[in-house]
Every structure is written in C-alpha cells, then in structure tokens.
C-alpha cells in the first residue's frame, strides 16, 4: 500500500509514535500541495513505479495517508481531493488521531471529499481521559477523539469504513479490558466500526521510550486471550503483528498480516514451523530486544480453513483445540498506575 505522508507535524506527542525526530523537523515545503501534485503526476505517468512514494509498498491500487497528523495540513481538503480526483477507484485509508473531527463540519467534509472506498483509522489509548491523555501527552485529546468518532459515525456513507485502534504497549495492555468496556458503552452499535488491536512497533519516539513502554508479545496475547468474551461483543475485531505461536488458536481467525516482508525477521522457530506460511512472523526489531524464547515451532500443520487472502490467511480452525498455555513471559508488565 503506497504510504503518502500528508504532513509531518502533529498536535499530539504519543509515547509510542513511530515518527523520528528528523521526520518531525523536516521543512513544511516537502509536504506542500505542490510537492504532492508532482508525486501524483509521476505515479500516474508510471503506475508500476514503486519508488514514487516513501514506503510505496508491495501492492498497488491503494493509498495510506499518514503523518504526523494528516488533517493538520493547511490545504488538507484540496490535497485529499486531488488524490481522489486522480485515483477515483483507489482504496484510500487515512490514519488520524481523530482530534480534528470533533469539529462536525470538518468530519462531514472529510468524508465528502474522501469519497469511496475510503477508511479512517483512529486510536483510542485508554478508557478515560486520564489514561488516554497520558499516552498522547496532550490534555483534552481524549474528549476530542471521542467527539470525532461520534461525528464520523454520524456522517459516514456507503463505501466508507471506520476502524478504532488500540495500540498495545505496556499500559494499554493493562487497560485493555476497561478500554473495551468503554468502547462497547460509548459506541454500542459495533456494526458501524471495526476494532483492531495493534502490537506496537519500536521506531521513532517508541524506540526512544522503549524502556517505559515495552511489553512482550506473550503478555499482550495473554491479556487479549483473557478478554475474548469482550472481543466477541464486537461485530468485527482484528489483531495486527501477532505471530500464531503466541496466540491461542481461538484467536487465529482474527490474526492479520499487515507488515511488509522487509520488516519481518524470522527466528529459528519460524524456519522449523509447519504453520509459518500462514503466520505474520515477528517484527524485525523484536528478537534483538526480547530474544526468541516466546516463539515455538508447530511440528505438524494444524487443520485450518485457508481464506486465500494473504493478509488474512486463516478463515477457520477446523482441528479440535487443546488447552492453551501462553508462551513464557520475558518481561514483567509494570503496574498501570506507574508514571511515564
């Protein structure tokens, strides 16, 4: 999916942000409307060129609009409209912290200009202002994000999707059941949005804050497994960046593969595993930080119904399940009341 960064600045300062200091400090001119129009023209002239956009990805026909915070671009609507006008059939996904959508007119106009197919992905970091705002380090961000989600749900049209994300690093893992309960209470019509739990990536600000936010995959997976009754109440839920061996097989149908191949670093267990072709595998930064103790190879292939979708390979688990034992933990999850 071509990654088109709209704007390098953000009105939040999230502890797990993957943007580097160098990116944040880049000149505004690099992301001007004119520069974007040049890239649009270049891609239209060479549609198979995977070098036009940074992290252009391994698949075409899509756009992922990122930042910073994309909606802060001073010519946001003209920019979004230019992409839709020039690529009318492309699926487009906008990653946003959701705060600007607390302005109902802004939310409505974004959906109008974005057209379809068009998705928005917005994170909720905790069950209340205290928890959420401690992650964004931006007072008032929780209230703005929640209001923005309500506005988007109110005005979205056919062909437009909304994804609520929870980025799982140390504290959000501990808050997960309460955050799920909040979402079910605040946005009870779960058919109107998709819930996605995303294991964090150690890049940029997240790498700088790693000692404060890190949590092993096994701890995150165990927390998710303990909340399966809550997950079942959402119309659709997904897991991103989780290898199969850290999950109970009751969650395998929720596991998606979204990382590009060049960001995956297979460990020894992966090379011996009978399920490796259906598995996301660990992110390249993971083993150097946590080691390989959590990963185990399946000696025999489990019976599953394959979907044929490389991003979501397992449609159903057809083999009778056995009791799940979480992988051995490699790090304690610190008390959630601890300060950043």
State residue 184's pLDDT score. Answer: 98
pLDDT in tens, 164-183: 999 999 999 999 999 999 99
Parallel, antiparallel, or unpaired: how do β-strands 118-123 and 255-256 relate?
unpaired
State residue 15's pLDDT score. Answer: 97
For the cut 80, the answer to whether the pLDDT of residue 195 exceeds it is yes
Average pLDDT over residues 11-29: 95
Q: How many CB atoms lie within 10 A of CB 44?
A: 11
State residue 339's pLDDT score. Answer: 30
State residue 257's pLDDT score. Answer: 95
Q: Indicate the pLDDT class of residue 335, thresholds 50, 70 and 90.
A: very low
Residues in the chain: 340
Residue 79 lies in a domain: yes
For the cut 70, the answer to whether the pLDDT of residue 35 exceeds it is yes
The count of structural domains within the chain is 1
State residue 338's pLDDT score. Answer: 34
Average pLDDT over residues 2-13: 92
Contact status, residue 239 vs residue 247, Cβ threshold 8 Å: yes
State residue 332's pLDDT score. Answer: 45
Average pLDDT over residues 207-216: 97
pLDDT-above-70 percentage for the chain: 93
Residue 61 lies in a domain: yes
Q: Tell me the two tokens of residue 85.
A: 């006008």
Residues 6+ apart with CB under 8 A from 255: 238, 239, 242, 244, 247, 279, 280, 312, 314
H-helix or E-strand spanning residue 84: helix 76-86
Residue 101 lies in a domain: yes
State residue 59's pLDDT score. Answer: 63
Contact status, residue 173 vs residue 215, Cβ threshold 8 Å: yes
Contact status, residue 95 vs residue 198, Cβ threshold 8 Å: no
State residue 326's pLDDT score. Answer: 73
Q: Indicate the pLDDT class of residue 234, thresholds 50, 70 and 90.
A: very high
> For all residues of the chain together, what is the average pLDDT?
92
Residue 119 lies in a domain: yes
* CA–CA separation, 86 and 91 (whole Å): 12
Q: Comparing 10-14, 201-205, 282-286, 315-319, which segment has the lowest mean pLDDT?
A: 315-319
| Strand positions, DSSP E, the chain | 3-7, 62-67, 91-95, 118-123, 160-168, 194-199, 237-240, 255-256, 304-306, 314-317
Q: Comparing 40-54, 61-75, 202-216, which segment has the lowest mean pLDDT?
A: 40-54
* CA–CA separation, 110 and 114 (whole Å): 6
Contact status, residue 3 vs residue 29, Cβ threshold 8 Å: no
Average pLDDT over residues 103-118: 98
Q: Comparing 30-44, 71-85, 243-257, 308-322, which segment has the lowest mean pLDDT?
A: 308-322
Range of the domain at 205: 3-317
For the cut 70, the answer to whether the pLDDT of residue 13 exceeds it is yes
For the cut 50, the answer to whether the pLDDT of residue 119 exceeds it is yes
Return the exposure string of 151-179: e unless at least 16 CB atoms fall within 10 Å of the residue's CB, then b.
Answer: bbeebbeeebbbbbbbbbbbbbbbbbebb
Residue 221 lies in a domain: yes
State residue 336's pLDDT score. Answer: 36
Q: Indicate the pLDDT class of residue 47, thresholds 50, 70 and 90.
A: confident
Q: Comparing 105-114, 186-195, 299-308, 323-332, which segment has the lowest mean pLDDT?
A: 323-332
State residue 185's pLDDT score. Answer: 98
State residue 334's pLDDT score. Answer: 39
State residue 322's pLDDT score. Answer: 67
Average pLDDT over residues 53-64: 71
CATH code, 21: 3.20.20.70
Q: Comparing 40-44, 81-85, 286-290, which segment has the lowest mean pLDDT?
A: 40-44
Residue 139 CA: distances (Å) to CA of 4, 163, 182: 28, 23, 19
Residue 13 lies in a domain: yes
H-helix or E-strand spanning residue 156: none
Residue 330 lies in a domain: no
Residue 331 lies in a domain: no
């Amino acid at each position: 999916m071509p990654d088109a960064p709209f704007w390098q600045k953000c009105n939040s300062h999230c502890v797990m942000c993957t943007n580097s200091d160098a990116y944040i400090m880049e000149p505004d001119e690099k992301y001007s409307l004119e520069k974007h129009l040049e890239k649009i023209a270049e891609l239209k002239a060479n549609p198979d060129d995977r070098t036009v956009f940074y992290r252009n990805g391994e698949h075409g026909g899509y756009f992922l609009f990122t930042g910073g915070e994309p909606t802060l671009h001073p010519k946001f609507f003209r920019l979004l409209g230019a992409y839709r006008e020039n690529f009318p059939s492309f699926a487009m996904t906008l990653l946003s912290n959701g705060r600007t959508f607390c302005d109902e007119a802004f939310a409505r106009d974004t959906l109008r200009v974005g057209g379809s197919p068009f998705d928005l992905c917005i994170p909720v970091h905790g069950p209340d202002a205290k928890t959420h705002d401690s992650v964004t380090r931006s007072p008032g961000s929780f209230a703005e994000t929640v209001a923005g989600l309500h506005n988007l749900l109110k005005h979205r049209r056919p062909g437009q999707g909304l994804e609520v994300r929870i980025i799982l690093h140390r504290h959000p893992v501990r808050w997960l059941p309460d955050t799920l309960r909040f979402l079910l209470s605040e946005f009870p019509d779960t058919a109107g949005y998709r819930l996605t739990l995303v294991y964090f990536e150690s890049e940029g600000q997240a790498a700088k804050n790693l000692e404060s936010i890190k949590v092993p995959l096994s701890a995150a997976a165990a927390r998710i497994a303990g909340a399966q009754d809550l997950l079942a109440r959402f119309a659709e839920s997904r897991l991103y960046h989780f290898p199969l061996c850290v999950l109970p097989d009751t969650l395998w149908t929720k596991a998606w593969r979204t990382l590009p191949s060049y960001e995956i670093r297979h460990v020894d267990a992966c090379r011996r595993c009978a399920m490796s072709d259906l598995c996301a595998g660990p992110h390249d930064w993971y083993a150097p930080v946590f080691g390989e103790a959590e990963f185990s190879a399946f000696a025999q292939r489990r019976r599953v119904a394959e979907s044929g979708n490389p991003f979501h390979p397992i449609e159903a688990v057809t083999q009778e399940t056995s009791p799940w034992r979480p992988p051995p933990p490699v790090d304690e999850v610190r008390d959630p009341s601890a300060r950043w």
